[in-house]
Amino acid sequence: MTSPVTVDTIIEAHWIIPVEPEKTVLIDHAIVIDDGIIKAILPSSQARIQFTSLNHIALNRHVIIPGLINLHTHAAMTLLRGLADDLPLMEWLNHHIWPTEKQFVDANFVMDGVKLACAEMLKGGITCFNDMYYFPEVTAKAVIETGMRAAIGLIVIDFPSSYASDADDYLAKGLALRDQYPQHPQLSFCLAPHAPYTVNDRVLANIMTYADQLDLPVHIHLHETHDEITHSLNTCGLRPLARLHQLGLLGPKLIAVHMVHLIEKEIKLLKQQNCNVAHCPSSNLKLASGFAPVTDLLAHGINVGVGTDGAASNNRLDMFEEMRLTALLAKASSHKAETLPAHQALRMATLNGAIALGLDKITGSLSIGKAADITAVDFSGLTLSSCFDPVSHLVYVAGQEHVSHVWVNGKLLLDDGELVTLNEKELINRAIQWQKRLNS
């Protein structure tokens, strides 16, 4: 008889939802992890025979899913949560957020804000996030310390900040950062021009050149509000998407965030160019930006992932809430209850995000050979009883408070609800100190 193979970790669970293949639910199965990689997924009874591990975890009332992927956020802005609520986007930015950032944002602000965000995201089952903010080198350092995975946005914007003097300086510093981490197991990078109304044509053209040369995604706010479109028509004579198309920015590397206000020919253009969309339903609702035509985007075969946006405009980094809203808003707007079923919402919050970031060979689903980026959700509580369909429960019932365990690259970062690499009390104290500074 063959001796069992020794591996790093074996996780048994009542349900495993791998996302790939679609609509698959495995009952009483185990995930076998070795050297941070998923080595096998098989019935628990077979796993006990074929493998052995000192780290054998039995989650008998849990569902295991791929780690959630937050396709758009501004992690450091967690320190600005609730600073200026109930305002439209441009008033919120021009009169509150940008002035506050100009006065207070520095490397220390970003480090504390990103760590606070990482803690919140890990406790909510998020293993990877796509960021856009100042001092991306600090964000990268914080991510490495916490053990999470992140796509670091190399922000570019036309106006100066404490981070960079002009658009060329932003771009140069961002590209230098990317060169520091050519193959880091937790980090990837995106070029992140803020928006069409804050980045000029020359810089956008340069960004497209670098994206092609370095094979980097381009992460940009786009078609978020009516004001944005009106401004573009008045200054350029083109709607923002047409302007980006003219500059050569549309393509499979583009991650277009929000995409609320679209006409039919623009949706067809997005499909023709194989663009990706990051859907942020809570932020769109809170800023009264509108309702993104997600049903139409999906019907055209466009890859749509889900993001929270920053905590200053959401005000939570809760991907369970975003999944639920994604499904419910699609049903309401289409007047069809069968629109965007739960399994599709889960895929949008996992694998679709990985595809947009070019990380789908690494993460986004539970597949042999992929990184062990895993979230466990405890279904033993009162509000989750009884369960007829675990996928439906994940989207319509479960919340971030039900997440019990999180692994990234096979490393346990959340253990029975407790953070492993971050000190929660210390993070709260730092946030309180920043709140006092901002209020002074």
Given the candidates 3.40.190.290, 3.10.129.10, 3.55.50.30, 3.20.20.140, the CATH classification of the domain at 68-357 is 3.20.20.140
CA 432 to chain centre: 26
pLDDT at position 88, please? 85
CA 292 to chain centre: 18
Q: What is the DSSP letter of 79?
A: G
The C-alpha atoms of residue 343 and residue 395 are separated, in whole angstroms, by 8
Q: Give pLDDT tens digits along the chain (440 positions).
A: 588 999 999 999 999 999 999 999 999 999 999 999 999 999 999 999 999 999 999 999 999 999 999 999 999 999 999 988 898 888 988 899 989 999 999 999 999 999 999 999 999 999 999 999 999 999 999 999 999 999 999 999 999 999 999 999 999 999 999 999 999 999 999 999 999 999 999 999 999 999 999 999 999 999 999 999 999 999 999 999 999 999 999 999 999 999 999 999 999 999 999 999 999 999 999 999 999 999 999 999 999 999 999 999 999 999 999 999 999 999 999 999 999 999 999 999 999 999 999 999 999 999 999 999 999 999 999 999 999 999 999 999 999 999 999 999 999 999 999 999 999 999 999 999 999 999 87
Residue with tokens 């909510």: 124
Contacts 24+ apart (CB under 8 A), 337-344: 339/295, 340/294, 340/295, 340/298, 342/389, 342/391, 342/392, 342/394, 342/395, 342/396, 343/22, 343/23, 343/391, 344/298
Within 51-134, residue ranges assigned H as helices are: 89-92, 98-104, 107-123
CA distance to 24, 320, 363, 387, per residue, from 391 (Å): 10, 12, 19, 10
**Do 302 and 275 touch, CB atoms closer than 8 A?**
yes
Query: Domain locations in the chain?
Result: 5-66+372-409, 68-357
DSSP three-state, residue 157:
coil
CA distance to 133, 187, 214, 291, per residue, from 137 (Å): 10, 11, 18, 34
Within 247-364, residue ranges assigned H as helices are: 264-272, 281-286, 294-299, 319-334, 342-348, 351-357
User: In the Cβ-directed half-sphere of 219, how many Cα atoms lie within 13 Å?
Assistant: 32
The neighbour count for residue 272, using CB atoms within 10 Å, is 11
35-67 exposure pattern, b = at least 16 Cβ within 10 A, e = fewer: ebbbbbbbebeebeebbebeeebebebbbbbbb
- Global pTM value: 0.97
Given the candidates 3.30.56.10, 3.40.50.1450, 3.40.640.10, 2.30.40.10, the CATH classification of the domain at 5-66+372-409 is 2.30.40.10
Q: What is the DSSP letter of 80?
A: G
User: In the Cβ-directed half-sphere of 284, how many Cα atoms lie within 13 Å?
Assistant: 27
The C-alpha atoms of residue 168 and residue 73 are separated, in whole angstroms, by 23
Most distant CA pair in the chain, distance: 77
User: In the Cβ-directed half-sphere of 302, how many Cα atoms lie within 13 Å?
Assistant: 31
